[in-house]
Amino acid sequence: MTAGVTTDGGTANDLTPDGAGVLLDGVTKRYGRQTVLDVPRLQVPHRSFTVLVGPSGCGKSTGLRVVAGLETPDTGRVVIGGVDVTDVAPGRRGVSMVFQDFALYPHLTVEQNISFSLRLEARHDRRNGPSKADIARRVTEACAMLGLEKLRGRRPAQLSGGERQRVGLARAVVRRPSVLLLDEPLSALDAQLRQHARAELVRLHRELGNTVVLVTHDQLEALSMGTNLVVMNGGKVVQSGTPGEVYRRPADTFVAGFVGSPAMNLHDVRAGTHPAGTELTAPGLRVVIPGDRLPAEVRLGWRPGDGVLERLPDAGPAAGLGAGGESTGPGLHADGVVDVVEFTGDAVVVHCAGELGRWAVAVRAGVDQPAVGDRVRTRVAAAHLHLFDATTGRRIDDPTA
């Protein structure tokens, strides 16, 4: 585990009173009989861009709403910048939230939408609230930051989805929140705008220098945007770390299958003794790995991009491969037939079927790419194999330890 976001402690430095780290401590939330959030400890460090990712219904939005103060947890504390805000009203937490549909007021102009919360604050608190000049300056600043200068007089119905998204962000940014919460803010955008908006958000975070927590169910978004990634499933945090750490060392089979596209290939294998360590076997597969500290039932994983494909002659035994897919070198060898070829631009995802089952290999698109019906051998170097306990699903880091 991980720099940055931690679920098991973390450093006090991330929660200095002047910083705006967020801590969920023993937080649970139930709706009726269903526990939708169960987070013993989750720390989001000050100034991080943290992405909460997980399948639909896993509790991401509920987690964000608990931080914003829009939901009250049944147990536990929410701490922002070292201050327990569990009982503090949403407007007083130094937090702004942008919703999936941006929730703009349709009858107000872009400028009025952006200034709305500041005008409200001024009216409620005439002494300490912002002055008219303050409001004008901050709105101008937010419009410049999000490229909205020319759209200030328009109403939401006269804006594109991308423009509405920027207004939603400007409305949050104008409050200068120490924590900016974004609930699937890009889901209404088409693929091209979405890619552009991702880069804009990353730039915005750099300019604001604050803490951003973004919710998405899009794992590509999760891997590409955040400095920290929190993977959730069934109301629980299953792994947190930098995107690279989570991708390279998924903590369990759920994370392995969820993070990364195309998904990691997973095969059920049996572990047996072998003079050189442990022999992993499945129909069409025999791999020997060093170390003997493995349970009997193992799930063997590998990323489609780590596989190397080689076309085989149409018939006859495969050279270098013994009966039952025995590997003649370190790593995995599996023979099969190309079932589907998926063209994705630079890469081609080749879906194969064989004695081992089904698996996918991502290769560069090019002249030598295999075609449906071709016989192919897949090789995966031993260093690229991931091992999981088939019973618990947990990663086995070092079978020699």
Q: Which residues bind ligand ATP (CB under 6 A)?
A: 31, 36, 54, 56-62, 217
Task: Report which residue type is found at 49.
Answer: F
Helical (H) or strand (E) element with 301:
strand 297-302
Reading phi first (left if > 0) and then psi (alpha if -120 to 50, else beta), residue 159 is in beta
Q: How far is the CB of 388 from ligand ATP (least distance, A)?
A: 24
State in angstroms the smallest separation of the CB of 182 from ligand ATP: 12
Least Å distance between CB 62 and ligand ATP?
A: 3
- For ligand ATP, the closer of residues 231 and 312 by Cβ is 231
| Closer to ligand ATP by Cβ: residue 46 or 60 | 60
Cβ-based nearer residue to ligand ATP, 61 or 178: 61
Q: Taking the complex as a whole, how short is the minimal distance between the CB of residue 97 and ligand ATP, in angstroms?
A: 13
192: exposed, middle or buried (C-beta count within 10 Å: 0-12, 13-18, 19+)? exposed
Closer to ligand ATP by Cβ: residue 31 or 105: 31
Residue 163 — φ and ψ, nearest 5°?
-70, -40
Q: Nearest approach, Cβ of 6 to ligand ATP (angstroms)?
A: 21
Residue number, 65 or 333, with CB nearest to ligand ATP: 65
Closer of 71 and 279 to ligand ATP (Cβ)? 71
Q: How far is the CB of 320 from ligand ATP (least distance, A)?
A: 46
Helices (H), 228-285: 243-248, 253-258
User: Residue 94 contacts by C-beta under 8 Å, 6 or more apart in sequence?
Assistant: 20, 80, 81, 177, 178, 179
DSSP characters over 27-85: EEEEETTEEEEEEEEEEE-TT-EEEEE-STTSSHHHHHHHHHTSS--SEEEEEETTEE-
